Amino acid sequence: MSEGGTVPGRLIAVVGPSGVGKDSLMEALCAKRPDLVRVRRVVTRAPEAGGEDFEAISPALFAARAAGGDFALHWQAHGLSYGIPREVHQTLARGQDALANLSRAMLGQAARVFPGLHVLHVTARPEVLAARLAGRGREGRAEIARRLARPAPAFPAGLTVTEIDNSGPLERAVDAALSALYPERV
Ligand SMILES: Nc1ncnc2c1ncn2[C@@H]1O[C@H](COP(=O)(O)OP(=O)(O)O)[C@@H](O)[C@H]1O
Ligand SMILES: O=P(O)(O)OC[C@H]1O[C@H](OP(=O)(O)OP(=O)(O)O)[C@H](O)[C@@H]1O
């Protein structure tokens, strides 16, 4: 319980390889459960890149904000820096669940920072991933090849993890995620 007697919300980490459908799944989950709060990440990516709604900042500003303690978690991948604004702690303290796209390599640290962490591990067959990345159009061919070749980081033991196969229709993945997160409502 938090100070006011409210049961804290959970951080729900959506992880998996590039192109698997993490952003699509998060958007669909929030549409079905308006009480879910989607974390808006801070990323050193060009603002016009498209895809998720994120706060675009320069590498220098990112480094300054990280040094100033602005992020609950931050990491680097694909030549970019990503941050989860520390305000997510207030969301959780209000009793709301929050959804965030995290790096698989950050899950050990995330479990220490967010005690109620629940991981949705999204998977899809390799040929499905390649087709989706090409279809999304945010990265060029070389970057797509790099993303597909990236080895999957190992998960630390002891996490609450739900495997979600998103090789088929998105709706099936959404139902599987909601059943795992809110079993009492199914
Ligand atoms: N179940 C699905 N069926 C068909 N297309 C999908 C499905 N899930 C995601 N997509 C599409 O695949 C592409 C990559 O999805 P995205 O959500 O951006 O993945 P990620 O955030 O994991 O990189 C997008 O163009 C998206 O519309
Ligand atoms: O350590 P990994 O689990 O491989 O993850 C590394 C990064 O890849 C994804 O980035 P991003 O959202 O920019 O790319 P994506 O939408 O193509 O997955 C994910 O959100 C992490 O930031």
At 142, is the pLDDT very low, low, confident or very high (cuts 50, 70, 90)?
very high
Q: Which CATH number applies to 11-39+95-185?
A: 3.40.50.300
- 126-135, 145-154, 168-177 — which is least confidently predicted? 145-154
Residue with the smallest CA separation from ligand 1 atom 15 is 21
Q: Is 5 annotated as a binding residue?
A: no
Phi, psi of 42 (to 5 degrees): -100, 125
What pLDDT score was predicted for residue 94? Answer: 96
Q: Is 22 annotated as a binding residue?
A: yes
Going by pLDDT thresholds of 50, 70 and 90, the confidence category of residue 154 is: confident
Q: What is the pLDDT of residues 13-34, one digit of tens each?
A: 999 998 899 999 999 999 999 9
Lining residues, ligand 1, CB within 6 Å: 18-24, 51, 132, 135-136, 166, 169-170
How confident is the model at residue 4, as a pLDDT? Answer: 64
Q: Please choose, from the candidates 146, 122, 118, the residue with its C-alpha nearest in 3D space to the C-alpha of residue 17.
A: 122
Using CA atoms of 162, 163, 168, 172 in order, give the dihedral in degrees to the nearest 10.
-20
Residue 138: burial class (beta carbons within 10 Å; 0-12, 13-18, 19+): middle
